[in-house]
Chain A
Amino acid sequence: SQTIHQWPATLVQPVGSPLSLECTVEGTSNPNLYWYRQAAGRGLQLLFYSVGIGQISSEVPQNLSASRPQDRQFILSSKKLLLSDSGFYLCAWSSPPSAVFGPGTRLTVL
């Protein structure tokens, strides 16, 4: 079966610290992968998407970056977190017939 994992589930980080969120998928190959951010009470903001290993497209300019070192691994990173980076981060994959979301990571930057 197809499953998607994200970790950590929650994270509290100080401003200026680095970030690494990991997403892995099982049960599929060569999926399109996405990182979304959801601010409190807001919709899904697409941050990055990837159609294959090493292929990353950025939707919005920001201090975040993404990498896809393996087919089923997608990583969201930052060298220095900002207060505005707080939010709920969701990884998702689009593979027929639908998209599947991970459980999310709640990031609080203090």
Chain B
Amino acid sequence: GENVEQHPSTLSVQEGDSAVIKCTYSDSASNYFPWYKQELGKGPQLIIDIRSNVGEKKDQRIAVTLNKTAKHFSLHITETQPEDSAVYFCAARNNNNDMRFGAGTRLTVKP
């Protein structure tokens, strides 16, 4: 089955700096890669996603990149703000609709 690894587990940045979270996956059949943001005491919420036929996708301050050959994808947050502080999860889904998640990254943005 699919195995998703996520790094780093914790990340602390200064407000205004960029943050990058990286994930690798094992199943070459995976074709959909979402990212989730989880605020304290709540369930994770989808913030951005990318499909395997696309290399990069951007939505305002967040962007995702995908390298299918290397089987890794990344989340980039620019001009970070304190409200970006949360736990972020990557995930990979294969053709059987089986979705697996990374272990999460706790991002702290210091004002």
Contacts and interface: CB of A to CB of B under 8 A. Distances in A.
Q: Are the chains A and B members of one assembly?
A: yes
A43 B32 contact: no
A101 B44 contact: yes
Contacts of A102: 43
Contacts of A32: 97-99
B101 A98 contact: no
A41 interface: yes
Nearest to A6: B43
Interface stretch (A12-20, A63-71, A88-96): A88-96
Contacts of A88: 41
A43 B101 CA distance: 9
B102 A94 contact: no
B42 A103 contact: yes
Interface in B74-111: 87, 89, 91, 93, 96-104, 106
Interface in A45-81: 46, 49, 51
Interface residues of A, number: 25
Contacts of B93: 94, 98-99
Contacts of A36: 101
Contact of B43 (A41, A90, A94): A90
Contact of A46 (B32, B96, B101): B101
A44 B43 contact: no
Contacts of A94: 93, 97-99
Interface of B: 6, 9, 32, 34, 36, 41-46, 49, 87, 89, 91, 93, 96-104, 106
19 contacts: A42-B104, A43-B6, A44-B101, A46-B100, A51-B97, A88-B41, A90-B43, A92-B43, A94-B93, A94-B99, A95-B97, A97-B32, A97-B49, A98-B32, A98-B34, A99-B99, A100-B46, A101-B43, A104-B42
Given A43-B103, A104-B43, 18 more contacts: A32-B98, A32-B99, A36-B101, A42-B103, A43-B89, A43-B104, A44-B44, A51-B96, A90-B43, A94-B93, A94-B98, A95-B97, A97-B49, A98-B46, A99-B34, A100-B46, A101-B44, A103-B42
